[in-house]
């Protein structure tokens, strides 16, 4: 069964996010990758609160590709502990769903 997921990860550098998005598209692990403008991120790191600017890459994929997608992100990401979050999609339009299935590897 094909289950659509949204996958999020963040980057310090815009070029790193674009490079990974293109790589994942070429590998057919995602059908779409969108880059948000810089965000103010606040988070705990090494025992203290950090504040940085980050770019969020949002990708559309399938749950069946999750393991390969996660490994590809881990292998190419510049962070030691990158945020990689998959969120299930409850519903999509039928036409969009068909397009998504067609663009991803089997």
Q: Are strands 32-35 and 48-62 parallel, antiparallel or unpaired?
A: antiparallel
pLDDT band at 2 (very low <50, low <70, confident <90, very high): confident
Quote the percentage of the chain above a pLDDT of 70.
99
pLDDT band at 18 (very low <50, low <70, confident <90, very high): very high
Going from the C-alpha of 84 to that of each of 16, 23, 43, 93, the distances in angstroms are 15, 16, 15, 25
Mean pLDDT of 26-38: 98
Q: pTM higher than 0.85, yes or no?
A: yes
- Give the residue extent of every domain in the chain: 4-103
For 4-103, give the CATH class.
alpha beta
Mean pLDDT of 38-57: 97
Quote the percentage of the chain above a pLDDT of 90.
97
pLDDT band at 1 (very low <50, low <70, confident <90, very high): low
pLDDT band at 95 (very low <50, low <70, confident <90, very high): very high
Q: How far apart are CA 21 and CA 55, in angstroms?
A: 12
């Amino acid at each position: 069964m094909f289950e659509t997921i949204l996958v999020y990860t963040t980057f310090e550098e815009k070029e790193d996010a674009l490079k990974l998005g293109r790589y994942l598209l070429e590998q057919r692990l995602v059908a779409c990758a969108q880059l948000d403008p810089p965000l103010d991120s606040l988070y705990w790191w090494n025992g203290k609160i950090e504040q940085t600017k980050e770019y969020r890459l949002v990708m559309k994929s399938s749950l069946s590709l999750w393991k390969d997608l996660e490994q590809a992100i881990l292998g190419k990401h510049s962070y030691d502990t990158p945020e990689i979050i998959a969120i299930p999609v409850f519903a999509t339009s039928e036409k969009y769903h068909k397009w998504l299935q067609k663009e991803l590897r089997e």
